[in-house]
Amino acid sequence: MTRTVETKEVLKGGSFLLEDHDAQEVFTPEDISDEHRMIAQTAREFTEKEILPRDEEIEAKNFDLSVELLRKAGELGLLSIDIPEKYGGMGLDLLSSLVASEQLSGQASFSGTLGAHTTIGTLPIVYFGTEEQKKKYLPRLATAELVGAYALTESGSGSDALGAKTKAVLTDDGKYYILNGQKMWITNGGFADLFTVFAKVDGEKFTAFIVERDFPGVSVAPEEHKMGLQGSSTCAVNLEDARVPVENVLGEIGKGHKIAFNILNIGRLKLGVSSNIGCKRLTSIATEYAKERHQFGVPIASFGLIKHKLAEMAILAYVGECMIYRTVGMIETTLDTVDRDIPEQALKAIEDYAIECSIIKVVASESLAYCADEAVQVFGGNGYSKDYPVERAYRDARISRIYEGTNEINRLIISGQMLRKATKGDLPVFQAAKKLMDELLSPSLSDDAGEGVFAAERAAIGNAKKAGVAVLGMAAQKYREKVQEQQEVLAAASDIIMEIFGMESAILRTEKLISTRGEADCSMQIEATRVFTNDALQRVEQHARRAIATMTEGDELRTMMSVLKRYMRFMPVDTISARRRIADSLIEAGRYNL
C-alpha cells in the first residue's frame, strides 16, 4: 500500500464549518506523488488508445467489447486498485483509485461500466466479504473474469432504499435463501456475472447477498431505453425463487444498510471525480470551438458573453478539483491512523467524511450540468446536433444528479449529518451557535481583516461560516426532532455549507500554490478563486435570507436581517474583468489550463 499523504493532523469530517484549516495542511492536485502521476498516465493512455478510438462501437452497445476493454484494463491493474494484494489486487490507497477514475472517465458510458464494476460491484465484497467470499470472488473481479454489479434500487424504492420489497426466505434445510423480487436500473445488468443484491430476510431484515448470474431463478430483463449513457448496460434483474446459498450472505443479516450506505460514500466521491473532470473536458471542447467559430467577422470567443461562459466553466472545474483533493487528503490522513486492512476501521474513517463526499457529489454533478448546458450554448445550433460531441455530453451528464443518491437526498444528508454530529457531540455546532448569538448582542462586530492575498475573502468566509452555523442552530432549536420535515431549510443550510467548502478549498489550494510558485505564476488561479468566492458569498446570503425568513418573523426577523447584512458585507470584486482575463488565458491555451 502506498502512503503518500504525510502524517498530518487529522481533521474531522465537517469540521471545516467551525474551524479554519491551514493551507500547508491541505492536500492539492500538485501534491500527488510520482506513482500517482504514473497511475494517472497509464489510465489516460489506456483511455486515449483503447477506449476513445472505439467510441462508436461502445455507444452501439457492443457489450462484448465493453467486457473485453474491462479485461484489458484489468491486465494493467486498473481494476484492482482497491482490492487487497492478498486477493489478487494491488491494495493501493484511495487517491490511486481516484486518479485512475479521473483518467478513465473520458468515455462516459464506459466510465459508468467500469465505475460500477470497480466501485459498487467490487467494494461490497472487499469491505464486507468473509475470507472465503473474498478468495472466491475478488481475484476474478480484479481481472474482470467476473463483472460486478450492484442491485439496490427497485421500482418502488429508489431514494427510499430501505423500503425494498425483495424478500429472502431460508429453506427448510437451512442451506439456501430463496429470493423473490425485482431490482431496477442495474448498471452492467446485461453482462454482469455477480450482483450484490439487497433483500429483506423474512420481509424484515435488510440484508445483502452475493448472487451469481447463473444461480437458478436469476434472470435479466432487456436493456432500458435511456436518455444518455447509451453504451452502458442498464437492466432490471428478476429474482424468481432465486436460490442463493447461505454462504453468499454478505455481511450480517439485518445489517445490509451498512453496506448500502458505506459503499455510497466512496461511490459519491468517485462520481464527483468523474463529473469534475467532465467539466474540464467540456471547458476545453467549448474553448476550442469558440476560437474556430466566426460570427460577425470575429471568433465568437471574442464576445464577452461567451468569455463569461468559458471562464465560469473553468472556475467551477477548478473549485471542484480543490474540494476533491482536499477531501481525499483528509480521508487518507485519517486512514493512516487506522489499520487500512481492517475493513471496519477503514470504512469508519471514510464514513466520517460523509458530508464532504455528499458535497462533492452534488457540487460536481451540478457544475457538470452547467458546463454541459453552456457547452451546448457555445456550439449554438451545432450544439443541438448529434454531429457534435456536446449534444451527447448534455444527455450523458444528466444522470450524475440522479444516481449515487439524488442531489435532493444528498442535500438532506449534508446538513442532516452536521446536525447529527452536533447532537452526538462530535462537532460543536451548537456551542458555536450559542457563542454567535451572544456575539450578536454585542454592539459591534470586529472585522479584523488578516493578511495575504485572500485577506478579505478569508474574513468574509469566516462570516459566512457564522451564517451557516446560525441557520443550522436556529433550525435545530426551532424544529427540534421535527427538523427533518423542514427540507427547504435543511437544503438552504446545505447550500451554504457547500459554498463554504468550495470557497475555502479554493483559497487553501491557491494559497498553497502561491507559496510554491509565487503570485505571478498563479494569477489565473487567484482570479478564479476570487470570482468564485465573490459570487458564492452572494449565494450564501440568499440562502440564509430564505431560511431565516421562514424561521423568524417581526422584530426578530428584522434584527437577524440586519445582522446578516453586517456579516455579509463584502466589497464586490470586478468579476467581469476577471472572467475576461481567465477566458483570454483559456483561449490562448485552447483548453482548460488552471
Ligand X SMILES: Cc1cc2nc3c(=O)[nH]c(=O)nc-3n(C[C@H](O)[C@H](O)[C@H](O)COP(=O)(O)OP(=O)(O)OC[C@H]3O[C@@H](n4cnc5c(N)ncnc54)[C@H](O)[C@@H]3O)c2cc1C
Which positions are annotated as active-site residues? 404
Q: Does 523 engage in binding with other proteins (CB under 8 A)? A: no
Q: What is the crossing angle of helices 523-551 and 554-567, to 10°?
A: 170
Query: Who contacts 143 (Cβ-Cβ below 8 Å, separation ≥6)?
Result: 71, 74, 75, 79, 80, 88
Binder of ligand X out of 128, 403, 454, 532 (CB under 6 A) = 403
Binder of ligand X out of 152, 250, 323, 346 (CB under 6 A) = 152
The site string for other proteins over 422-461 (x = CB under 8 A, - otherwise) reads: ----------------------------------------
Q: Is 145 exposed, middle or buried (0-12, 13-18, 19+ CB in 10 A)?
A: middle
Q: Does 77 engage in binding with other proteins (CB under 8 A)? A: yes
Q: Which does 27 bind (CB under 5 to 8 A by kind): ligand X, other proteins, none?
A: none
**Which region, judged by CB under 8 A, interacts with other proteins, from 5-13, 71-79, 264-272, 487-495?**
71-79
Q: Which does 406 bind (CB under 5 to 8 A by kind): other proteins, ligand X, none?
A: ligand X
Q: Does 126 engage in binding with other proteins (CB under 8 A)? A: no
Which of 345, 355, 275, 279 is closest to 313 using CA atoms? 279
Instruction: Decide if 151 contacts 103 (C-beta within 8 A).
Output: no
Distance in angstroms (rounded) separating the CA atoms of residues 419 and 1? 35
Q: Does 92 engage in binding with other proteins (CB under 8 A)? A: yes
**Which region, judged by CB under 6 A, interacts with ligand X, from 185-193, 361-369, 461-469, 560-568?**
185-193
Q: Does 109 engage in binding with ligand X (CB under 6 A)? A: no
Which of 496, 492, 487 is closest to 567 using CA atoms? 496
Q: Which does 34 bind (CB under 5 to 8 A by kind): ligand X, other proteins, none?
A: other proteins
Least CB distance to ligand X at residue 229 (A): 6
Least CB distance to ligand X at residue 398 (A): 9
Binder of ligand X out of 47, 80, 153, 327 (CB under 6 A) = 153
Q: Does 158 engage in binding with ligand X (CB under 6 A)? A: yes
- Distance in Å from the first CA to the final CA of the chain: 31
Which of 29, 36, 71 is closest to 50 using CA atoms? 71
Which of 359, 367, 370, 193 is closest to 269 using CA atoms? 359
Residue 386 burial (CB count, 10 A): 8
Instruction: Decide if 147 contacts 189 (C-beta within 8 A).
Output: no
Least CB distance to other proteins at residue 406 (A): 34
Least CB distance to other proteins at residue 45 (A): 6
Site for ligand X in 223-262 (CB under 6 A): 226, 229, 234
Distance in angstroms (rounded) separating the CA atoms of residues 539 and 536? 5
The contact set with ligand X (CB under 6 A) reads 116, 150-153, 158-159, 185-187, 226, 229, 234, 399, 402-403, 406, 408-409, 487
